[in-house]
């Protein structure tokens, strides 16, 4: 158990819809990261928040947005969903802004039909 909690574990929705994925980092971790893994692909970095502020951005689509709240939990919002958005979405956390090891949650599997 990494200490990172993601909900929901599974989500099935239709094209055009909007969903919100939630992540609670490990106790004491200030950084939260979101990664997308599509069909046996590697993990693609989406975005990082540190203590409530956006600190790094990867290949995140404009239809996607995220935020980190004062209690440090984070939400990833995916809107106008397309079939290609079907993927595993991982949240990870770390203590600081930078420094190697990330602790990953079990992921949220999104299926867009």
In the complex, which residues of this chain contact other proteins (CB under 8 A)? 2, 4, 31, 33, 35, 40-45, 48, 50, 55-56, 58, 90, 92, 94, 96-107
Shorter beta-carbon distance to other proteins: residue 41 or 80:
41
What are phi and psi for residue 85, nearest 5 degrees?
-80, -10
DSSP 8-state code for residue 51: T
CB of residue 49 to other proteins, shortest distance in Å:
9
DSSP 8-state code for residue 93: E
Distance in angstroms (rounded) separating the CA atoms of residues 100 and 113: 36
CB of residue 63 to other proteins, shortest distance in Å:
20
Shorter beta-carbon distance to other proteins: residue 5 or 79:
5
CB of residue 86 to other proteins, shortest distance in Å:
17
What are phi and psi for residue 84, nearest 5 degrees?
-70, -10
Shorter beta-carbon distance to other proteins: residue 8 or 16:
8
Distance in angstroms (rounded) separating the CA atoms of residues 64 and 36: 12
Q: What angle do CA 74, 75, 78 make, to 5 degrees?
A: 155
CB of residue 80 to other proteins, shortest distance in Å:
25
């Amino acid at each position: 158990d990494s200490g990172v909690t993601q909900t929901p574990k599974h989500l099935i929705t239709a094209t055009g819809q909007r969903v919100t994925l939630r992540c609670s980092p490990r106790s004491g971790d200030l950084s939260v990261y979101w990664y997308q893994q599509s069909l046996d692909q590697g993990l693609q970095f989406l975005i990082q928040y540190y203590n409530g502020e956006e600190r790094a951005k990867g290949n995140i689509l404009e239809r996607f947005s995220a935020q980190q709240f004062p209690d440090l939990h984070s939400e990833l919002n995916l809107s106008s969903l397309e079939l290609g958005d079907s993927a595993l979405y991982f949240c990870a956390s770390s203590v600081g802004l930078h420094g190697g090891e990330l602790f990953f949650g079990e992921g949220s599997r999104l299926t867009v039909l």
